[in-house]
Structure 1
């Protein structure tokens, strides 16, 4: 195969770590130090005048902080540099309109993670059919579950290699997510039909051809109970508000807690779009995002937006006297998404809830 037919691709592979109790404590300390480093950087950014907010000054600040604050020394120097780069990248994303402004990271609402920016520091070897070994800076040699072939040893070269990793803690413990770069054959453009996709709550993924896909729960049982309790509290406090009267401080606080809980499922929507983007690219397709405003209220049959057509979360009935079309609300939104794509209403850079893909269909459950 010629070099013109090859393309470099990057993907991640997540594996479970088998840490000892002492290793868990060391990794936890590194994650807390990384979060503290981020918060110190944000505080430094807010105090500094604009002309002094440079990468060089920030680097000098974190080096001084590692000398003055003892527990920050548990974080490897390269991991501290990775925090610095991610913080500046977060501001760049904000300035480009791709994300909101960075903020302080809370202890209990932030995912614990530590970055290992250099793949050569891992020294990965396969010791068993089911287990591999990796070197974690300031933790030592750690076993991880070998569930997929990795470019290590004689299989690694400049085009196929592990470029770094990140340690992530979830409800099941610590995992390691490898960043893998490979040289693969460039896929042929897929000639499949255009498909509109609507991402929602009651129906996670609805397609314009009538198909739908489910996935696992986004909120735990306790999170669902808390969200229901907050919504009931908001409804109760709203009853005592007179028409036209602004919401009180307590009601605003309750609304803020509800948005925080819903942001958990919002992150899952973002991951779904990311998975679809790289899956379609691997099969020669493309993923395009279109404006989500109005896609759930517009009738996909007649094109009119009539008040009251969205009767419930799952049913859409067009109130236009000349139409009267009825059907699943998510299916209707997916058809509107496809219409916007065909009208050339793509968003650049990609943003929004509604998406369109032109590729072989891939079930989200297979996106791992």
Structure 2
């Protein structure tokens, strides 16, 4: 039941009436019918507090085919999203300088109090409070990251009809380089830092959002194999490791071409071209289409 513009209340078994902040319109009262109605709800406890999630069934019309241009997107750490049209989608740090310093101090405090605990001893109240403070800061960073991803993926899905993405094995990319005692790894600390940077960008979540939003707008997401997308020249097609002059600069080694440009933009153009090739999944530029068509009625969380 809606009380006013900002607040509503619901009945929870074994708890009673619960007030909640109204953030999205729900089909309740005179706005509800057989095809548009609330079918369930649940309470979720997160680091930032309690939330109520409503399951809503609504009638979704079949979207018309998207008539916009196509694009290829290269995902990275320095530049999160590089589009084939030469533009970038960047973001700043998820935590401010003060929040980052506070998180660093809390991490040091956690380690100091954890080392002082005896084996098998229950966590002290201070250590538990420190864990909660760290979780709240990390939850804040995640909410800001998800908010940025929602805004960017909505803009991309509304602009482009076909979106090409690399089919990356992210789980394999973030594996530790520590190795074993017999064959220890090399550059373990550098690889660990790269793994944290890749995990912070949440590349898989970006693709999932694009697939859902593109399907709702009549577009599609096409995944292409990742090998040689950053080594191939988008102008002449020459593929050689020497083309990648630096991490950010691409210079074609073909004497008859001489193309120069941003390496991520060049990779995005190769991805866009590969997504438009109607070939099988074999070879350097195989294609896997993802449209995710939905039934006329579907539940979604609020």
Same fold (TM over 0.5): yes
CA, structure 1 residues 307+144, in 2 after alignment: closer, same or farther (shift >3 Å)? same
Name which of structure 1's ranges 211-220 and 151-160 shifts more when overlaid on structure 2.
211-220
Q: SS where residue 190 of structure 1 aligns?
A: coil
Structure 1 residues 139 and 336, CA gap change in structure 2 (3 angstroms): farther
Equivalent of 1:210, from 86, 94, 107?
Answer: 86
Q: 1:326 to 1:273 in 2, by over 3 A?
A: same
In the alignment, is the contact (CA less than 8 A) between 1:306 and 1:320 conserved in 2?
Answer: no
**Distance of 2:254 and 2:103 partners within structure 1:** 37
CA apart distance, 1:300: 1.0
Matched, 1:321 2:255: yes
Identify if the C-alpha distance between structure 1 residues 177 and 311 changes in structure 2 by more than 3 Å, giving closer, same or farther: farther
Task: Check conservation: 1:160, 1:183, Cα contact below 8 A.
Answer: yes
The corresponding residue for 2:124 is none
Q: CA deviation at 1:332?
A: 0.8
Greater percentage in helix: 1
- Cα gap change, 1:330/1:155 in structure 2, threshold over 3 Å: closer, same or farther? same
Cα displacement (A) at 1:203: 1.8
Aligned equivalent of 1:173: 49
Report the TM-score when normalising by structure 1. Answer: 0.48
- The Cα RMSD (Å) is 3.9
Which residue in 2 is equivalent to 1:185?
Answer: 61
Q: Give, in angstroms, the shift of residue 167 of structure 1.
A: 4.7
Correspondences of 1:191-202 after superposition (within 5 Å): 191-202=67-78
Please tell me whether the aligned partners of residues 288 and 346 of structure 1 are also in contact (alpha carbons under 8 angstroms): yes
Q: What residue number does 2:118 align with?
A: none
Partner of 1:346: 287
C-alpha contact (below 8 Å) 1:218/1:264 kept by paired residues = no
Q: Matched residues in 2 for 1:259 and 1:169: separation?
A: 31
Secondary structure of the structure 2 residue equivalent to 1:178: strand
**Which consecutive residues of structure 2, in runs of 5 or more, have no partner in the other structure?**
106-175, 279-285, 292-301
> What is the CA–CA distance in structure 2 between the aligned matches of 1:215 and 1:325, rounded to whole Å?
29
Give structure 1 stretches of 5+ with no counterpart. Answer: 1-124, 227-233, 239-244, 351-367
Which secondary structure state, in structure 1, belongs to the residue aligned with residue 241 of structure 2? coil
TM-score normalised by the chain length of structure 2 = 0.57
- Confirm or deny: 8 A CA contact 2:224 2:275 kept in the other structure: yes
| CA 169–161 in structure 1, closer or farther in 2 if over 3 Å, else same | same
Give CA deviations for 1:100-121 in whole Å, capped at 9, x if unaligned. xxxxxxxxxxxxxxxxxxxxxx
The 1:205–1:257 alpha-carbon spacing in structure 2 relative to 1, beyond 3 Å, is: closer
Q: Are residues 271 and 309 of structure 1, via their aligned partners in 2, closer, same or farther at CA, if it must alter by over 3 Å?
A: same
| Greater relative CO (CA pairs within 8 A, separation 6+) | 2
Pairs within 5 Å for 1:225-304: 246-247=183-184, 258=193, 261-262=196-197, 264-265=199-200, 268-304=202-238
